[in-house]
Structure 1
Amino acid sequence: MEEGTLNSSKQELTLESLFPNVSSVLTLQGFNLPPQSVVPAFLFASLNYMLILFCNLVLLFTILFNKSLHQPMYLLLLNLPINDLIGSTALFPQVIHELVLDSRRIPYDACITQAFFIHIYGAGSIFILTAMAYDRYVAICRPLRYQSIMTHAHVMRIIMLVWLCCFLVIGVLFFLLLRLPRCGSRMPHAYCDNPSLLQLTCADTTINNIYGLALVAVTQVVALGIIFCTYIQILVACFRSKKAETKTKALQTCATHLIVFLLLECLGLFTIISYRIPNLSAQTRRFIGVSTMIFPPTVNPIIYGLKTNEIKDIIFKFFRKKILPG
């Protein structure tokens, strides 16, 4: 019995000597804010998270509880606030916790969970906006066949395909990550993501890098290809239309979608490129990364809520009844 205990202790000592930096708790890089900036940063993060929760939940419940909005366009749009809530909830509680307690430590399991859902948010945003572009193409370019094409069953299949693709491609990404041994516990970033976790491994990451780059490339090519082709045909159909009202409504709807998509694309590409620039300062890289998680979830529900007349009218009527009853 004693001999077994000694052998076990020797094995533990050997592992500890081989990987002295391995711990079940990771240390994040943090934002390195000066003391006078901590309170403003905490207030900004807290208020921004509450704003994201409020705006996205209003949009979500408005679509859910109004049967007049149970149409293909809005059923697809419904997934956008869900996805934004996933991304912001994956990031903000950890950031607020770090600012309040001045703690940069996070359990490894929690870090993996945070990174997984942050990447789900990124992939989900692209796939959902691509599905919405397809819906707008059918509505504007095939108006007489819209009801027969975009049936409830077909819309549900599209939504299931979007989320299945998200969890599949990101699941493979993290399967490739978790198969590698880890020999570090100091994160090079202020929050957890796949590239940062990959830097903690002590094995060949060639397969991970190839899959990650291929995933970004294929996703971008497919999404941009579909959206570019659909919008070209939408513009052609709009300019051919003789009805000014129809043309204006179609262009307004498409402009709203395009603004949201371009905002996400620009921030996402800046984030990806920032990892490939070794001379970029850590603070700039952190700001770019966090901005991708802050601006789209904040702006999306406001843009869709104010630019989509049906949603705007329902929201305004609801608040008028609550604030000015009778």
Structure 2
Amino acid sequence: MENYTYNSFTLQLEGLNVSEDYVYTVFLFIFFSYLFIIVVNGGIVVLVFLDKNLHQPMYLLFWNLSINDILGSSIILPRLLVDMLHPPSERLISYYECVIQAFIIHMCGTTVQTVLMIMAFDRYVAICNPLRYAAIMTNKMLVKLTVSAWGVSFVLVGIMVSLTIRLNRCMTMIRGLYCSNAALFKLSCESVF
């Protein structure tokens, strides 16, 4: 068996395999779940943005988590809903769209973890140094921590995805609901050590 390279720019997603009897039921459930996610997180974003009393570190970190949740669910769920209505052979995605989707999904996951670490630091300072809390957790410090959370996520995931896209591909089937770094990695037939 020969090792061949097939760098196709069109990939096929396995998607969500649901019986034809339940496609519309599952579609409506996912659609209303997505609407709920957008409305609730959008409400938190607007509330924190408009209410000056909520311009405190913990609420601004909640604001970051809501933005991240809107971004993460908006990159996965609309595509999943569209693919559910197509037969498996027509669930196609371009390679570049797949890479962008994988990048944003992993960046959202990494950003959640870094923002939660900042929230833990905020609570640690509030509990262990309550009298110095206002001096330590200033708006300037919060901006630095927030930018670093998103920046570190961007750099780490950028490195991870760039190491994956340099590999030649010999397969075109993405096994899963969406594109991820692991799914892109599995398309390669090269030695990945």
TM-score scaled to structure 2, two decimals? 0.93
What is the aligned-residue RMSD (CA, Å)? Answer: 1.6
Deviates more, 1:70-79 or 1:148-157: 70-79
CA contact (8 A) 2:48 2:54 kept: yes
Alignment partners' CA distance in 2, 1:108 and 1:189: 15
Structure 1 residues 111-165: Cα deviation after superposition (integer angstroms, max 9, x where no partner) = 1111111101111111111100110111122110001000110110000110111
CA contact (8 A) 2:5 2:169 kept: no
TM-score scaled to structure 1, two decimals? 0.56
SS of 1:144's partner is coil
How do 1:186-201 residues align onto structure 2 when only pairs under 5 Å count? Answer: 186-201=173-188
Structure 1 residues 46-101: Cα deviation after superposition (integer angstroms, max 9, x where no partner) = 10110000000000110011111111111222110011111101100110110123
SS of 1:117's partner is helix
SS of 1:143's partner is coil
Return the offset for 1:23. Answer: 2.3
Counterpart in the other structure of 1:80: 65
Counterpart in the other structure of 1:308: none
How do 1:93-242 residues align onto structure 2 when only pairs under 5 Å count? Answer: 93-102=78-87, 103-206=90-193
Alignment partners' CA distance in 1, 2:72 and 2:128: 33
SS of 1:26's partner is strand
Return the offset for 1:202. Answer: 2.2
Matched, 1:66 2:47: no
SS of 1:184's partner is coil
The answer for unaligned runs of 5 or more in structure 1 is: 1-16, 207-326
Alignment partners' CA distance in 2, 1:21 and 1:44: 38
Q: % of aligned pairs identical?
A: 37
Counterpart in the other structure of 1:289: none
SS of 1:46's partner is helix
Counterpart in the other structure of 1:215: none
Please identify which structure carries the higher helix content.
1
Return the offset for 1:175. Answer: 0.8
Aligned residue pairs: how many? 190
The answer for unaligned runs of 5 or more in structure 2 is: none
- AA aligned opposite 1:143: P
Alignment partners' CA distance in 1, 2:5 and 2:135: 63
Alignment partners' CA distance in 1, 2:123 and 2:3: 57
Alignment partners' CA distance in 2, 1:18 and 1:37: 41
Structure 1 segments (4+ residues) deviating >6 Å: none
